[in-house]
Amino acid sequence: MSGFPLYQVDAFASDVLSGNPAAVMPLDRWLPEALMQRIAAENSVSETAFFVRNGGHYEIRWFSPAMEVPLCGHATLGSAWVIFNHLDPAADSITFRTRTMGDLTVRRDAADPARLVMDFPVTDFHPSQTFPELEAVAGVVPQSVWAVRAADFLLVLDGPEAVRDFAPKIDRITTLGRNGVFSNGMMVTAAAPGGVEGPWGCDFVCRNFQPGRGVPEDPVTGSMHTFLVPFWRERLGKDVLVSRQLSKRGGTLYCRDLGERIEIAGYAVPFLVGTCSVPVF
């Protein structure tokens, strides 16, 4: 048996037991893919991040309990927190090299070093149409529907209360699809009245359900903001936006639209530090 360090970090949170728990495993070499998938399933959080240092950057991969995913915001934030606080505390910025999204950087916020700022590429989205099956699964008639990635749906609802109370038929989300491609997930969002000065303390709210990726509801989703930020910038006329994800755990994301890139910032707090024992291959 061999042990690897294992951290669990609550991302997009200022207090433990809130935000989105990410499992983070620094490695000195890559483990077999099937083993990393089994470890992610055993960790049973929405994503586990594995990374290996390679010269001046870190190679990173993310696994949900069901599959490898192309991008994960909260587990990137958690990985950066581990590096800044345990592995390289003298660093001010980190570069993560990915298989599908190019290089992602994370830096300490100069005005607030406890807050970490991620730089991600924008994700395309385009208008779609509602249809009876989608409305039956969602349990609401959305203001509008947008297509994201291969077949995921973004629903714009009437207001924060509608997002907070949203209760879809989660087991039927993966039966929806377009052009023969079935959906992994359904996301909902709404503008928050009054912006950050209003009663919700943010510019927009959201939630994210990803049963096709083994995550019934993701507590706080950084990657979702790679299209939510440009979406709401166009409608609210603001480049700097604060988002609140209204899951049971909840989380706050501080965002800035840079055109083809998005800055997504947040806090992270540690929940546990331990050792993962896995067979040696």
- Asked if 206 and 163 touch (Cβ cutoff 8 Å), the reply is yes
Please count the CA atoms within 13 angstroms of the CA of 242 that sit on its side-chain side.
13
Instruction: State the DSSP code for 151.
Output: T
- Asked if 108 and 92 touch (Cβ cutoff 8 Å), the reply is yes
Q: What is the pLDDT of residues 5-30, one digit of tens each?
A: 999 999 999 999 999 999 999 999 99
User: Which of 42, 47, 68, 135 is the catalytic position?
Assistant: 47
Query: Is residue 47 annotated as part of the catalytic site, yes or no?
Result: yes
Please tell me the predicted confidence (pLDDT) of residue 3: 85
Please tell me the predicted confidence (pLDDT) of residue 278: 82
Amino acid making up residue 72: C
Asked if the domains at 2-122+268-278 and 125-259 fall in one CATH topology, the answer is yes
Please tell me the predicted confidence (pLDDT) of residue 114: 96
Please tell me the predicted confidence (pLDDT) of residue 46: 96
- Asked if 6 and 25 touch (Cβ cutoff 8 Å), the reply is yes
Domain residue extents for the chain: 2-122+268-278, 125-259
CA–CA separation, 147 vs 154, rounded Å? Answer: 6
CATH number for the segment(s) 2-122+268-278: 3.10.310.10
Q: What is the pLDDT of residues 61-113, one digit of tens each?
A: 999 999 999 999 999 999 999 999 999 999 999 999 999 999 999 999 999 99
Enter the pTM of the model. 0.96
Q: What is the pLDDT of residues 193-243, one digit of tens each?
A: 999 999 999 999 999 999 999 999 999 999 999 999 999 999 999 999 999
Architecture of domain 125-259: Roll (3.10)
